[in-house]
Structure 1
Amino acid sequence: MKTVIRAFFKTLRIVIGPFMLLGEFVTRPKAMQRPAALQAEVDQQCTSLVLYQYKTCPFCIKVRQEMRRLALNVQKLDAQHPGTNRDDLINGGGMAKVPCLKITDPAGKVQWLYESGEIINYLRSRFASA
């Protein structure tokens, strides 16, 4: 029974996934405009951020849309399939749940932030006024 359920949801993701990506593309928000020097500073700050995501996860899409709106160049890693990215997410954050924002402070301390709403609130508080 478990195998049938997994196969059903895998098939559902394969069928619905392209439509979700098309919807993300069509509803893409316009990026906020910053002076070049300020955008360069924001880009530098974004090097300490990594978003672990699945391409067709609706919550990941929500976070990516906000990152576009805030004009953030955050590295995005796909953690859906077994491999290095997924292993790093599990070993660092403790679970294979997405979206997950890895935040590394200047001292090298790492924080793993789960939940799309919390990630969006963090990004807005840090970058919306920049």
Structure 2
Amino acid sequence: MRILVRYFFRLVRLILTPFMILAEKFTTPAGIERSSEQQAEVEKKCQNLALYQFKTCPFCIKVRKHMALLSLPIETRDAQHDPEARKQLEQGGGRVKVPCLRIDNGDGSTDWLYESNDINQYLTRTFG
């Protein structure tokens, strides 16, 4: 019975995946516009950030849309299909849970921020 439930949910994900990707493309907001100097400063700050995510996770989509709204070029790492990214997330953050924002601080330390609402609040506070 357990295996049937597992395969049922895999089938549901397989069917919904293209719809979720299309919905994200059509509903992603246009980013805010900044002067070239301001955008260069934002891009410099974003070099210290990386988003660990799954392509079709609804909470990851929520964070990516917020990143697009704020015009943030944050590197995304696919923890679902990239074993190296998954390993980094597990070792650094302590668990494989997405979305997770990796924040490399200036003092050499690294913070791992989970939960889409917390990530969006951090991005708004820092860049909004």
TM-score normalised to structure 1 length: 0.95
Cα deviation 1:49-101 (Å, max 9, x = unaligned): 00000000000000000000000000000011361111110111011100000
Question: Runs (4+) of structure 1 moved beyond 4 Å?
Answer: none
Task: Provide the residue aligned with 2:109 in structure 1.
Answer: 109
Q: CA RMSD in A?
A: 1.0
Offset, 1:3: 2.2
Task: Provide the residue aligned with 1:13 in structure 2.
Answer: 13
Offset, 1:6: 1.9
Q: Percent identity?
A: 47
Aligned with 2:31: secondary structure? coil
TM-score normalised to structure 2 length: 0.97
Aligned with 1:22: secondary structure? helix
CA distance in 2, matches of 1:3, 1:47: 42
Q: Which amino acid aligns with 1:61?
A: I
Task: Provide the residue aligned with 2:57 in structure 1.
Answer: 57
User: Is there any run of 5+ residues in structure 2 with no aligned partner, and where?
Assistant: none
CA, structure 1 residues 82+8, in 2 after alignment: closer, same or farther (shift >3 Å)?
farther
CA distance in 1, matches of 2:78, 2:106: 25
Aligned residues: 128
User: Is there any run of 5+ residues in structure 1 with no aligned partner, and where?
Assistant: none
Q: Which amino acid aligns with 1:55?
A: K
